[in-house]
Amino acid sequence: MEKDVEEFTVSISSHRRHESETNVNPSGSSRRIDQAVLVRNANKSYGVGKNRCAILEGLDMTVKRGSIYGLLGASGCGKTTLLSCIVGRRSLNSGDILVLGNEPGTPESGVPGPRIGYMPQELALYGDFTIKETLQYFGRIYNLRTAFVDSQLEFLSSFLDLPPSDRYVKTLSGGQQRRVSFAVALFHEPELLILDEPTVGVDPLLRRSIWDHLIRQSVDHGRTVIVTTHYIEEARQATTIGMMRSGRLLAEESPNNLMRNFRRPSLEDAFLKLCMDEQQTESMVNASISNATIQNTEEAQQQQPQGDSVDYAEGVVSQTDVAETSVHRQRHSNSRGSIDSATSSSSNATFNLGISDSTGAKIRKRKNHSLKLSLPSIHRLGALIRKNYLMTFRNFGIFVFIYLMPAFQATVFNVTLGHEPKGLKIGVVNDELDPSQGRTCNYTTDCSYSMLSCRYLRYVKDNIIQIPYDNISDALVAGKKGHVWGVIHFGHNFTEEFEVRQSEGDSANLKNIIRSRISINMDSSNQQIDVFIQKWLLEAFGDFFKDFMRACQHEPEAGYIPVEFLDPVYGKKDTPFTEFMAPGLIISIVYFMAVSLTAGVFVSERKQGLLDRCLVAGVTMTEILIGQLINQFSILIGQTTLVFLCMLLAFNIPCHGNLALAVFITFLQGFVGMCFGLLIATFCDNENSALLLSQASFLPFTVISGVCWPIEGMPPYLRKIAYSMPLTYAIEALRCVFARGWGIERPDVYLGIIISVAWILALLILCLIVLRIRKYAR
């Protein structure tokens, strides 16, 4: 292991290895590529503006094929960032990377894909899977034969001392989980293994056998390994050590050369010496920069420039007494780069790599076509769908909750909303009553004009409780205190005045009209109750008047207001509020369940690093989206069926149109919800923000889309917004099917369908664009 990589002779044992050893260049000739990974002038920063923070600064790295490359460095120096760029999960701001002869992310590179095995720092495993299911899942992703999967499971279980394979990952200890994660990276025997701190939480014995295994992989099978570790001494077993600090490689040598060059007995001491030298050089460079700046300023003032700060700084660097390693050359050029404060362009980096112009052109060409979609693979899609179902069914409680929740919500809606209020107290002040003069309520039903106030009150619906008050001021005080919803007042000679008004007809005078009136003061603080009471009191008068006319042998309608609502064209008289709201409610329940479920599942998978691991394994974002949509769609079928059963059968909401059409419109909206959920998930990095965003969208969407109030009641500008919402047209369409029995040939119905489909496509395209921008797609 102490030999240099150049001395390595590797035996090519497998067909796949043979394939990877050669690379067909654009001219058609084949050439061997000795480097598994080449990084040149890599620059990478996070954040923007004032928060911009450079992580990689002009980093060069060379990993020979068949070698073990130990990447060492303090926490936060950028090791994981570098690895994620190598596996194609992040892209550099400038500079170039070749992995196994190609730029990661290009279709011909196979990276991300089965050519690499990646063990990220985070666990990135499905807790609800058993060890066996975990390996089988990745086996399906890599399209491996069952016999191979079984033999690898057996081998890795004994080699890594894994617990029984039917144990759930979530029940394993931290160390055991990391070993399973390691097994996943090794499992498909990739050409290039990238392991981010594989030995953390692993006991010394197992750590040793892990390193032995890595050495065997490299020596016997010619596989390349890049490994990061905080245990510097264990990296002695690596072929090459890359010592990283502040986004740069300070040294890239064999462990022995490093110790020899620094005249130190251990790697740890060598690293320490290197860091101290670097720190010293940095301060000297900084000092010389400020000197040069002062000098330049003076020179500029004298208008006699004699060279620039760069040359001066270089001079200082070259004078420093540091060991002559390859890295010092890198540091030297980096110093110049930072003094120039210019990052090299991609094309410069290509030149630095020493790769042919055609390869450079290939890289540039690839960058131009980065929005091209790849076709989904059946086996990967199968693995994803299977995984999604397993995850759904494994948590039975959550599974039942997910399916029953929409039906439960629909039930709550039907039980609570739309029913007539009862027990509404109304104060009655009847000045007609005067027991001392024999004026008490009677129960006459004939044509006599006697105590008509009492006769009217008998027609008032039971939902209103009449509370008698002695005088109007007491009754109004009770109203102010909220004891009654309103006060009905009859004047002293109500019946007599009413009789005069009836007999005089059009010639009745105003005084008479006012005295024959039933006066009502309402507490209109509750609009719904107000509307109900007004309606019932008016209806009571209609019924009273018509009955009285009938008793007097007159035509009942005579003298009553000449407006009559006949049988409605659609629906029935007094359509309950629930029937108006039901279509909007069905759609919003299904829509928002789909939004929150999809967003939640997707974000949590991304957060746990599972998505990254799958993407590095070669799964494409399109496949992940399709897999999610298929899984969520089957949930949607169950949810929609239960909601319809609940609405139509349990609560008798009538559907006058084609039920299949109603279900179809609802499905489409569920699909729109899933796509919106995916879009939320692409924006949000954690479940909380995804949940917040989906909940925050709930109220505006439902209110503006006309679920609870007719859009016609909104101001014109809001109406425009309402019609641009994804739910509005679909709710209108469903209402037309439910209440009017209209079919797909009606514009109101087919517009709902067309606009839902348009939303689905727009949201999916938006998702893919965001995912691509955020580097979650390739």
Ligand X SMILES: Nc1ncnc2c1ncn2[C@@H]1O[C@H](COP(=O)(O)OP(=O)(O)OP(=O)(O)O)[C@@H](O)[C@H]1O
Distance CA 226, CA 192 (A): 8
Instruction: Indicate which single residue of 38, 55, 59, 518 sits in contact with ligand X (rule: CB under 6 A).
Output: 55
Nearer to ligand X, 76 or 107 (CB): 76
Instruction: Indicate which single residue of 2, 3, 31, 46 sits in contact with ligand X (rule: CB under 6 A).
Output: 46
Nearer to ligand X, 77 or 289 (CB): 77
Smallest separation (angstroms) from ligand X to the CB of 82: 7
User: Residue 674 in contact with residue 636, Cβ under 8 Å?
Assistant: yes
Please choose, out of 68-76, 218-226, 544-552, 732-740, the segment that lies near ligand X by the rule CB under 6 A: 68-76
Nearer to ligand X, 78 or 95 (CB): 78
CA angle (240 as vertex; 315, 110 as ends), nearest 5: 110
Instruction: Indicate which single residue of 40, 79, 546, 735 sits in contact with ligand X (rule: CB under 6 A).
Output: 79
Using CB under 6 A as the binding rule, whether residue 246 contacts ligand X is answered as: no
Nearer to ligand X, 55 or 518 (CB): 55
Query: Which residues fall within 8 angstroms of residue 569, CB to CB, at 6 or more apart?
Result: none
DSSP 169: G
Query: What token pair was written down for 543?
Result: 């019924």
Query: In terms of Cα–Cα distance, which of 244, 263, 259, 326 is closest to 2?
Result: 259
| Beta bridge partner(s), residue 430 | 490
Query: What token pair was written down for 189?
Result: 């025997």
Smallest separation (angstroms) from ligand X to the CB of 54: 9
Smallest separation (angstroms) from ligand X to the CB of 244: 7
Distance CA 457, CA 488 (A): 10
Smallest separation (angstroms) from ligand X to the CB of 685: 9
Query: What token pair was written down for 77?
Result: 């120096």
Distance CA 228, CA 70 (A): 6
Smallest separation (angstroms) from ligand X to the CB of 56: 9
Smallest separation (angstroms) from ligand X to the CB of 13: 33
Under DSSP, is residue 515 helix (H, G, I), strand (E, B) or coil?
helix
Site map (CB under 6 A) of ligand X, residues 693-712, x = contact: --------------------
Exposure string for 205-240, b = 16+ CB within 10 A, e = fewer: ebbeebbebbbebbbebbbbbbbbbeebebbbbbbb
Using CB under 6 A as the binding rule, whether residue 752 contacts ligand X is answered as: no
Nearer to ligand X, 121 or 728 (CB): 121
H-state helical runs in 492-576: 494-504, 510-515, 527-551
Nearer to ligand X, 81 or 109 (CB): 81
| Beta bridge partner(s), residue 31 | 23
H-run or E-run covering 702: helix 687-704
Instruction: Indicate which single residue of 41, 62, 81, 325 sits in contact with ligand X (rule: CB under 6 A).
Output: 81
Nearer to ligand X, 89 or 380 (CB): 89
Smallest separation (angstroms) from ligand X to the CB of 57: 12
Smallest separation (angstroms) from ligand X to the CB of 214: 19
DSSP notation for 711-770 = GGGS-HHHHHHHHTSTTHHHHHHHHIIIII---TTSHHHHHHHHHHHHHHHHHHHHHHHH
Smallest separation (angstroms) from ligand X to the CB of 608: 15
Smallest separation (angstroms) from ligand X to the CB of 76: 4
> From its phi and psi, is residue 618 left (phi > 0), alpha (psi between -120 and 50) or beta?
left
Using CB under 6 A as the binding rule, whether residue 78 contacts ligand X is answered as: yes
Instruction: Indicate which single residue of 43, 80, 453, 578 sits in contact with ligand X (rule: CB under 6 A).
Output: 80
Nearer to ligand X, 656 or 775 (CB): 775
DSSP 345: P
Please choose, out of 75-83, 146-154, 208-216, 309-317, the segment that lies near ligand X by the rule CB under 6 A: 75-83
Residues 176 to 215: which contact ligand X by CB under 6 A? none
Distance CA 74, CA 58 (A): 18
Smallest separation (angstroms) from ligand X to the CB of 727: 35
Task: Look up tokens 């076509």; give the residue.
Answer: 369
Count CB atoms within 10 A of the CB of residue 400: 10
Query: Which residues fall within 8 angstroms of residue 541, CB to CB, at 6 or more apart?
Result: 456, 459, 518
Nearer to ligand X, 61 or 77 (CB): 77
DSSP notation for 59-124 = EEEEEETT-EEEEEE-TTSSHHHHHHHHTTSS--SEEEEEETTB-TTSGGGTTTTTTEEEE-SS--
Smallest separation (angstroms) from ligand X to the CB of 264: 22
DSSP 32: E
Smallest separation (angstroms) from ligand X to the CB of 274: 16
Please choose, out of 73-81, 465-473, 517-525, 717-725, the segment that lies near ligand X by the rule CB under 6 A: 73-81
Residues 117 to 176: which contact ligand X by CB under 6 A? 121
Using CB under 6 A as the binding rule, whether residue 76 contacts ligand X is answered as: yes
Nearer to ligand X, 84 or 430 (CB): 84
Using CB under 6 A as the binding rule, whether residue 75 contacts ligand X is answered as: yes
| Beta bridge partner(s), residue 439 | 434
Distance CA 387, CA 379 (A): 12
Using CB under 6 A as the binding rule, whether residue 250 contacts ligand X is answered as: no
Max CA distance (Å), the chain: 127
> For residue 426, which phi and psi values (nearest 5 degrees)?
-130, 130
Counting residues that bind ligand X (by CB under 6 A) gives: 12
Please choose, out of 72-80, 98-106, 210-218, 734-742, the segment that lies near ligand X by the rule CB under 6 A: 72-80
Nearer to ligand X, 77 or 487 (CB): 77
Smallest separation (angstroms) from ligand X to the CB of 75: 3
Nearer to ligand X, 55 or 98 (CB): 55
Please give the C-alpha separations between residue 755 and each of 58, 206, 336, 673, in angstroms, as whole numbers: 50, 59, 58, 13
Nearer to ligand X, 77 or 225 (CB): 77
Nearer to ligand X, 77 or 169 (CB): 77
Smallest separation (angstroms) from ligand X to the CB of 174: 16
Nearer to ligand X, 245 or 380 (CB): 245
Instruction: Indicate which single residue of 5, 10, 77, 582 sits in contact with ligand X (rule: CB under 6 A).
Output: 77
H-run or E-run covering 488: strand 486-490
Give the interface with ligand X as residue ranges (CB under 6 A): 46-47, 55, 73, 75-81, 121
